[in-house]
Copies of this chain bind each other. A is one copy, B any other.
Amino acid sequence: MIEKIVLIGAGNLATQLALALFENGIQVSQIFSRNPESAKELAEKVNAGFTNQPSELFTEADLYVIAVKDSAIQEVLENLRLNHNQLIVHTAGSVPMKILEGFSMNYGVFYPLQTFSKAKKVDFSVIPICIEANHPLNLMKLQHLAARISSTVHQINSEERKSMHLAAVFVNNFVNHCYTLGAEILQDKKLDFDLLRPLIQETAEKIQTLHPLEAQTGPAKRNDQQVIDAHLKMLQNKPELQKIYSFVTESIYQSQIKHAHDLL
């Protein structure tokens, strides 16, 4: 059983994870962050201890959760002084589990597939948590912990998780960038971005029940060359947007052709 948890990191993911654990009655014992303000701020929210000194990290916890940015994981691991059999997990989509090998005999991954901000509360119970471990017993422990905060727990290996992370880049980062480009187009005409917000909301909501291929509409799907040409002309002073417009339009059309039979 996992009873004593040390959380390393106090960023977006760490914050939301600590809150979810706390609200489900799971105590985080200690929070570590290089930034003492961040550590303190989060620790106070979840009634945990905190430190910014690696030397003050508890050495006898049951679980160490490394929730820092990908590029900092290695350094965190090198600063941990453990007795080499405690369970260590990281929370990163694109980092293989085996980065943890050699730092403990017990290790795994605890990856919640969501976008997190410190300030925006999320409903953790609907967030898929992808777990992986080096041993069935560790997997069982992670399964048990994950199931206490989410109703969707999946065993996913490092290779699959890499693909999930790539897919997440498309549906989150790239989608969000499309919002940015939409905002830029409106801004040029001094039109308010608020006009697009209901459309953005509905576009995501449609997908909660439909497959995106079924939900697609618009000039690219219809191959409406007249509208497409007019749009490309409107973007002639924005070569970067024009390029994205062309490629995505072509890709939409190809997807519709390729999958037309799947939908029939």
Q: Which residues of B contact A128 (CB under 8 A)?
A: 194-195, 198
Query: Is the pair A200, B195 in contact by a Cβ cutoff of 8 Å?
Result: no
Cα distance A225–B120 when bound, in Å? 28
Known: A113-B196, A166-B234. A252 touches B201 (CB 8 A): no
- Bound: A244/B171 CA distance, A: 13
Q: A160-B189, A204-B203 are in contact. Are A170 and B197 (CB under 8 A)?
A: no
Question: How many angstroms between the C-alpha atoms of A170 and B231 in the bound complex?
Answer: 11
Contact flag A251-B181 (CB < 8 Å), given A160-B191, A200-B171, A203-B176: yes
- Whether A148 sits at the interface, judged by CB under 8 Å, is no
A113, B199: Cβ atoms closer than 8 Å = yes
B170, A220: Cβ atoms closer than 8 Å: no
A213 at the interface (CB under 8 A from B): yes
The answer to whether A71 and B224 have CB atoms under 8 Å apart is yes
Compute how far the CA of A167 lies from the CA of B252 in the bound complex, rounded to whole angstroms: 17
CA distance A186 to B171 in the complex (A): 12
- Cβ contacts under 8 Å, A200 to chain B: 171-172, 175, 204, 207-208
A172 CB to closest chain B CB (Å) equals 5
Q: How far is the CB of A8 from chain B (nearest CB, A)?
A: 19
The answer to whether A251 and B177 touch across the interface, beta carbons within 8 angstroms, is yes
In the bound assembly, the distance between CA atoms of A199 and B122 in angstroms comes to 11
Q: Does A75 contact B (CB under 8 A)?
A: no
A185 to B174, CA, bound (A): 14
Q: Which residue of B lies closest to A184 (CB)?
A: B255
Contact with B along A110-132 (1 / 0, CB 8 A): 00011101001010001110100
Instruction: Report the Cα distance A227→B169, complex, angstroms.
Output: 11
Give 9 CB contacts A-B under 8 Å: A69-B222, A71-B224, A159-B189, A163-B188, A164-B191, A169-B220, A175-B179, A181-B255, A201-B204
Of all A-B residue pairs in the complex, the 7 with the closest CB atoms, nearest first, are: A204-B204, A179-B212, A173-B218, A167-B182, A171-B182, A170-B182, A167-B185
